[in-house]
Amino acid sequence: MPQDFADLHVERWRDHWIEVDFDDDVEAMTVRIGALHRYFKASTQRALAEVGLLESEYETLHHLMIRDTPGKASPGDLASDLGVSGAGMTGRLDVLEKRGLVKRTPGTDDRRRVDIEATRAGVAIWRKAMALRGDAEDDLATALSSAELKTLNKLLKKLTLHAESRLDG
Amino acid sequence: MPQDFADLHVERWRDHWIEVDFDDDVEAMTVRIGALHRYFKASTQRALAEVGLLESEYETLHHLMIRDTPGKASPGDLASDLGVSGAGMTGRLDVLEKRGLVKRTPGTDDRRRVDIEATRAGVAIWRKAMALRGDAEDDLATALSSAELKTLNKLLKKLTLHAESRLDG
DNA sequence: ACAAACTACTTCGCATACGAATTATTCACA
DNA sequence: TGTGAATAATTCGTATGCGAAGTAGTTTGT
């Protein structure tokens, strides 16, 4: 099997920086996960360019759609889901509302709140982006057999469970 | 084995959005890779807070150190490595230079160029951050046996090679 | 040898996002 | 029931980064 970027990285690393000692396999894994993440990000961005969305717009719309209550949320919930500040979310929603992709409605029972809802146009453009994104991911996954993909998920899950326990506990 | 975040995501996804059909395993893999990336990013940020570096400062310093010519580069090379604009790199280098972590030297043979070099202090702080970052990665990797880690790398590599071929060719 | 094209970096103007302060509203409880 | 604490969203001031324009220097072609 030919070398990938991670192999080259580890090799170069070992040549130049022996005194900073890392486990080669751990380092390679980290680099590969980073590389795959960047690849997904890049294909998402191509999809977004095609449908005419900025990454910040898509991200907001996306989190709005994948909630327990799809298409509906409060600015604060979205902000914490996305890891942006409340101020940032106000700005993002201003843009999305101006483009007609979401609608703000003042809350009725609690008038401090604002309800955000994706409009028909917002849902449509999000779906188009999702379909394109999915195509790219499926394409990448063809590199693995179905059994390999299951094995990979099993191993990744061991890591994510470990990570989650570190974050919670 | 208990459920992780990706399992929950896929389950919720299937409940609410059957009409947008994704392969469950591919979707779970994508989500897990994203989650691990965020975990690494978070532990890096903890490490950076401890040594007193901003993420942008660390990132710049890091790419300066892991080049073929460690600790030395031109602003333009760094900018394209990091995927930031030339203007952004000028700003980052201004900050790093002011903190005494890198040094700018006007080029001698080609006077358009500027040589960036990490100072002794810059290398030291980068190493401290690297050591902490490495600890967190090693900790995560304890979730896998050495054999599992090798299997994981083999499968990840199949994906990265596929991704690289898509990007180049 | 000299103008045109190119390259490397920096400055400028604008957009986005952050944290802090602000406004408006609701909740807790004495 | 009224007052202080808490909560939700927005506005404000600042920082970081982008793209475009600017500046300085080098290469190319005739």
**Domain locations in chain B as residue ranges:** 1-51, 53-137
- CB–CB of B137 and A36 under 8 A? no
Tell whether the model's pLDDT for residue A24 goes beyond 90. yes
Q: What is the largest CA-CA distance in chain B?
A: 65
pLDDT (tens digit per residue) in A33-74:
999 999 999 999 999 999 999 999 999 999 999 888 889 999
Determine the Cα–Cα distance for residues A98 and B17; give it in Å rounded to an integer. Answer: 26
CB nearest B164 (choices: A4, A23, A162):
A4
Chain A nearest C-alpha distance from B113 (Å): 25
A41 inside 8 A of chain B by CB: no
- CB–CB of B16 and A70 under 8 A? yes
CA of A86 to C1' of C15 (A): 18
B124 inside 8 A of chain A by CB: no
Q: Which residue is nearest to nucleotide D12 (CA to C1')?
A: A87
- CB–CB of A27 and B142 under 8 A? no
Q: What angle do CA B116, B88, A57 make, to 5 degrees?
A: 150
According to the model, what pLDDT value does residue A158 have? Answer: 98
pLDDT (tens digit per residue) in A74-118:
999 999 999 999 999 999 999 999 999 999 999 999 999 999 999
pLDDT (tens digit per residue) in B14-66:
877 766 778 999 999 999 999 999 999 999 999 999 999 999 999 999 999 98
A18: pLDDT confidence band, cut at 50, 70 and 90?
low
**The CATH number of the domain covering residues in A5-168:** 1.10.10.10
| Distance spanning both ends of chain B, measured CA to CA | 40
CA of A106 to C1' of C25 (A): 12
Collapsed DSSP state (helix, strand, coil) of residue A115? strand
Please state whether B113 falls in left (phi above 0), alpha (psi between -120 and 50) or beta. Answer: beta
Asked whether strand C has any atom less than 7 Å from the CB of B96, the reply is no
CB nearest B70 (choices: A16, A26, A30):
A16
Residue B153's Cβ-count burial label (10 Å; 0-12, 13-18, 19+) is buried
**The CATH number of the domain covering residues in B53-137:** 1.10.10.10
Hunting for tokens 């990840």 — which residue is that? B156
CB nearest B161 (choices: A2, A131, A156):
A2
- Write out residues 65-84 of B within 8 Å (CB-CB) of A: 65-66, 68, 70
Hunting for tokens 């590969």 — which residue is that? A32
According to the model, what pLDDT value does residue A14 have? Answer: 82
**Structure tokens belonging to residue B13:** 């996804």
Determine the Cα–Cα distance for residues B62 and B57; give it in Å rounded to an integer. Answer: 8
Nucleotide nearest to B57 (CA to C1'): D16
Hunting for tokens 């090693």 — which residue is that? B138
CA distances from A7 to A4, A13, A20, A56, B151 (A): 5, 10, 17, 33, 15
Asked whether strand C has any atom less than 7 Å from the CB of B113, the reply is yes
Determine the Cα–Cα distance for residues B132 and A66; give it in Å rounded to an integer. Answer: 35
- CB–CB of A164 and B17 under 8 A? no
What is the CB-side half-sphere exposure of residue A24 using CA atoms within 13 A? 11
Determine the Cα–Cα distance for residues A13 and A22; give it in Å rounded to an integer. Answer: 9
Determine the Cα–Cα distance for residues B57 and A77; give it in Å rounded to an integer. Answer: 30
According to the model, what pLDDT value does residue B167 have? Answer: 78
* Nearest-10 crossing angle of helices B120-141, B24-51: 140
CB nearest B23 (choices: A68, A138, A167):
A138
DSSP for chain B reads ----HHHHHHHHHHHH-TTS---HHHHHHHHHHHHHHHHHHHHHHHHHHHHT--HHHHHHHHHHHSSSSTTEE-HHHHHHHHT--HHHHHHHHHHHHHTTSEEEEE-SSSTT-EEEEE-HHHHHHHHHHHHHHHHHHHHHHTTS-HHHHHHHHHHHHHHHHHHHHHHH-
Query: Which residue of A lies nearest to B34 if distances are taken between CA atoms?
Result: A37
Which chain C nucleotides are covered by protein, judged by CB under 7 A? 7-13, 16-21, 24-27
CA distances from A157 to A148, B8, B150, B156 (A): 14, 12, 15, 14
According to the model, what pLDDT value does residue A169 have? Answer: 62
Determine the Cα–Cα distance for residues A41 and A48; give it in Å rounded to an integer. Answer: 10
Asked whether strand C has any atom less than 7 Å from the CB of A88, the reply is yes
For chain A, give the percent of residues with pLDDT over 90.
83
- CB–CB of B66 and A166 under 8 A? no
Determine the Cα–Cα distance for residues A105 and A114; give it in Å rounded to an integer. Answer: 6
Contacts of A149 in chain B (CB under 8 A): 25-26, 29
